[in-house]
Every structure is written in C-alpha cells, then in structure tokens.
Amino acid sequence: MDELELLKKDWQKKDKDFPKLTYNEIYKMILKKSSSIVKWIFIISILEFVFWVGIAFLLKYTGYADDMANVGSNTAFIIMSVISYIILAYFFYRFYMNYRTINTTDNATTLMENILRTRRTVKQYVGFNLIAMVVSVGILLPYFIKQDPESQTIIEQATADGELLKFYAGIIIVTLLMLAVVIGILLLFYWLIYGILLKRLNKNYRELKKLEV
Amino acid sequence: MNKELEHSFVELLEKHQNIVHKVCRLYTNNYDAHNDLFQEITIQLWKAYPKFRGDAKFSTWMYRVGLNTAITLYRKSKRRIDTHTFNDFEFKIKAEDYDDTEEQQLKILYKAVQQLNDIEKALVFLYLEDKNYKEISETMGISEVNARVKMNRIKTKLKTILNP
C-alpha cells in the first residue's frame, strides 16, 4: 500500500486520541490576547512612525529647527516641512491600507504576501527617513559652519595656520562617521527585530515560491 | 461582539476542535506548545468569525485559518523547548489494531512527517484530511499541478525514509 494511504487510514482514527476541551475552556480562550506576528509588526511599525515623528518634534521644541530655519530661508524650511508631512501621511495611509488587507482567511501565499507588503512599506518609510537625514545634514552643515561664530574663529585660526583643508577634511570625516554609526545602529536594530520576527514567514514564503518555479 | 456570536462560535469550535488539535499535533512537539498554538488558532478563528459566511463550511474555513496561523502568524513560544515531548504518546499505535510491520511502518512514517518542513506538513495534513488537490491548491495559494508535483515528491521522500 502507498505509505501515505497507510498513514491516512491511521490518521483518521486519531480523533479519540485528542483532548476534549469543554465549552468553558474554549470560551476562556477567546477572551485572551493574540501574540501573532501581525500584531507585533503592527506595534513595531507604529513605534517606527512615532520614532521619526518624535525626532522631528524634538528638533522643533529644542529650538534646533528654528536655528535651521534661520540658516536657510524660512519659506524653504516651511516647504520642506510640508513635504515631509505629506510623505508621512502617504506612507501612513499605505501602511494602514496594507494592514487592512491582511486576512487570515486568505490562502497561505496571499496572506504571506500581504504581510510582507506591510513590512515593505515601513521599510521604505525608514529608508526615506535615513536618506532625508543624510541629505539634510549634507545641505545644512555648510550653512551652520558659516553662521556659527565659534566655527568662524576656528576657520580663521586654521587659515592663519594654513590648515584649512585639514579642518574641512576633519569635519567631513567626523560627520560621515557619525552618520554611519547612527545608520548602522538603526539598520542593525531593524535587521534583528524583523529577522527574528519574520524568519519563519520568509522561509515558508520562499518554500511556496519555489513550488511555483 | 455580542453574546450570541460568542455562543455560536464556541459551540461550533467545540464540535470541530479536533481539526485544531490535529494542526497543533503536527506543528508542535510538546503539550505546552500544543496548548499555546491551540490558543492562538482559537483567537485567530474568533477574530475572523464575524466575517465568516455561512456559505463556506465551518470546518473548511477552519483548515485555512488553522494552517495560516501555524505556518505564518504563530510566533514560537519559548515554552516550545520544553522537555515533555510527545514521543511515543504522540502517535500512539495500538498493537491490537495492526500487525507488527504496519505498526513499525506507521511509527517511522509519523516520525518522518514530523521532520518535513512547514509547507510540506501543510500539504500532507490536507491530504490526510482527505482534501482533493483543488482544495489543497486553494488553501495554499499554489496551482493544482504544483500541489500534485509537490505531493508526489513528498511521497517519494517518505518512501525513501521507510525503505532506505
């Protein structure tokens, strides 16, 4: 006999081997909270949005943003803020719509794809913020140096000593290193969190896709 | 959620609970993990229940949510590394029902099924539950042809394990 047929014959007799939960036991279960990966992805994604919006607010309330606004032109700063809020709203809308499509009654492949799409949106949002961070540092740093009286004194000193090039090289290297460290820590953090959370899903999704080749 | 909905759901699940037990037995290897997964599948079924349309059979619908929870949504709990494994209890084979060879074969087969990956287990599970290839392909979101091909590969794999 075919091995699986043998197994099937036995499997269908298994019913009596399982525990029989009572009505009350099942009822208690539906009152408990889920700990599914979708719930965790949702929580972590919301935290990511809060984190980046939080940074923006922090800059505003510590007066740092005002300094930046003074450095460049006010209008340019307002336009940049408006654009960043529009982008935030766009990402949040997309995230929410993706999240809503996650349905446990879909087939396995569709469910996995929908979860991965939600994750991808947040990943793009984080990527956007990282790029925005690098670009704004690149644009604003020269203005800062120009405006800051302390930097000006150092520049004058460096010019007198003939070490201006050294001064600029130092600034660029320190800035790049700091950016690399910050981005590195953030990426490691995401890689760890999502790596652990989505390990099983990714493996099973790859396995399903392999079948389609 | 109103009481009536809760009542009808719990009643239906109580009646069909073996489907969930079977999924749990296939994807876990100890009592605590079994209970943990049972709990999560129950929550997912309950969350999806308001959208359940009477036109689909409750049991058919349970297969989908149960498997999706086991292979996609469920986060392995720490309790899974418990030492209380099912081992012999897991798929107890009653001596009076089978001859020695069959009993041995079944033991090895159940062990072999436990070693399959999550997706292979899902296919085997649906097959053992007497689902046809159309249903298997619809539940997994793959084509019917691919479901057949994969099932044949699994059969060969099991045959090799059984007759090395």
**Model confidence pLDDT, tens digit, residues A61-77:** 776 666 665 655 567 77
Average pLDDT over residues B123-150: 94
Chain A contacts of B67, Cβ < 8 Å?
108
Q: Check pLDDT > 80 for residue A113.
A: yes
Average pLDDT over residues A194-208: 89
Rounded Cα gap, residues A123 and A129, in angstroms: 10
Q: What is the pLDDT of residue B83?
A: 42
CA distance B2 to B142: 37
Q: What is the DSSP string of A57-110?
A: HHHHHTTHHHHHHHHS-HHHHHHHHHHHHHHHHHHHHHHHHHHHH--TTS-HHH
Q: Which of residues 193-212 of A touch B (CB under 8 A)?
A: 197, 200-201, 203-204, 207-208, 211-212
**Chain A contact set for B143 (CB, 8 A):** 212
* Domain membership flag for residue A167: yes
Question: pLDDT per residue over A131-189, tens digit each?
Answer: 988 888 888 788 777 777 888 888 888 888 888 888 888 888 999 999 999 999 988 98
Quote the CA–CA distance of A122 and A33 in Å, as a whole number. 24
Q: Which of residues 62-101 of B touch A (CB under 8 A)?
A: 64-65, 67-69, 71-77, 91-93, 97
| pLDDT value of residue A72 | 55
C-alpha A86/C-alpha A96 separation (Å) is 15
Confidence (pLDDT) at A70:
63
Q: Tell me how crowded residue A29 is: count the other CB atoms within 10 A of its CB.
A: 20
DSSP letter at A119 equals H
Answer whether A200 sits within 8 Å of B92, measured CB to CB.
no
- pTM assigned to the model: 0.81
What radius of gyration, in Å, describes the C-alpha atoms of chain B? 17
CA-based torsion, B14, B15, B17, B18: positive or negative:
positive
On whether residue A32 sits in a domain, the answer given is no
Residue A154, exposed/middle/buried by CB under 10 A (0-12, 13-18, 19+)? middle
Residue-level pLDDT at A73: 59
CB contact under 8 A, B42 and A29: yes
The distance of A4 to chain B (nearest Cα, Å) reads 7
Establish if A61 belongs to a structural domain. Answer: yes
Q: State how many domains chain A has.
A: 1
The answer to whether B119 touches A204, Cβ cutoff 8 Å, is: yes
Residue B141 in contact with partner chain A when CB distance is under 8 A: yes
CATH number of B91-164: 1.10.10.10
Contact check, Cβ <8 Å, A106/B48: no
Is the CB of residue B36 less than 8 Å from the CB of residue B54? no
- Mean pLDDT calculated for residue range A181-199: 88
* Contact predicate A37/B50, CB 8 Å: no
Task: Measure the CA–CA gap between A55 and A29, rounded to whole angstroms.
Answer: 40
pLDDT at A71 (0 to 100): 57
Contact assignment for B105 to A115 by CB distance below 8 Å:
no
The residue among A77 and B45 whose pLDDT is bigger is B45
Could you give the residue range(s) of every CATH 1.10.1740.10 domain in chain B?
Answer: 1-85
Does the beta-carbon distance from B48 to A20 stay under 8 Å?
A: no
A40 has pLDDT over 70: yes
Mean pLDDT throughout B42-53? 90
Asked whether residue A71 is assigned to any structural domain, the reply reads: yes
Cβ contacts of A26 within 8 Å, gap of 6 or more: B10, B13, B14, B17, B42
Domain range for A203 is 38-208
How large is the average pLDDT for residues A128-133?
88
Of A3, A110, A197, the CB nearest to B158: A3
* A14 contacts chain B (CB < 8 A): yes
Cα atoms in the 13 Å half-sphere on the side-chain side of A4: 19
pLDDT digits (tens, 9 = 90+) for B77-127: 654 444 444 443 444 444 444 456 788 888 888 888 988 999 999 999 999
pLDDT band at residue B65 using 50, 70 and 90 as cut-offs: very high
Which CA distances in Å does A82 have to A56, A76, A116?
12, 10, 29
Please compute Rg for chain A using Cα positions.
27
Residue B56 pLDDT more than 90? no
Helices (H) and strands (E) in chain A, counts: 8, 0
Residue A18 covered by a domain:
no
- Whole-angstrom distance, CA of residue A182 vs CA of residue A187: 9
For A11, the closest of B117, B128, B138 (CB atoms) is B128
The H or E element containing residue B65 is helix B58-68
Chain B residue with minimum CA distance to A33: B43
Contacts B65 to A, Cβ<8 Å: 104-105
A18 in helix, strand or coil? coil
Nearest CA in chain A to B135: A107
Task: Give ranges for CATH 1.10.10.10 in chain B.
Answer: 91-164
Architecture of the domain whose range is B1-85: Orthogonal Bundle (1.10)
A-contacting residues in B 121-140 (Cβ below 8 Å): 122, 124, 127-130, 138-140
Q: Which two tokens stand for residue A138?
A: 């690149």
CA distance B50 to chain A (A): 12
Evaluate whether residue A11 is within a structural domain.
Answer: no
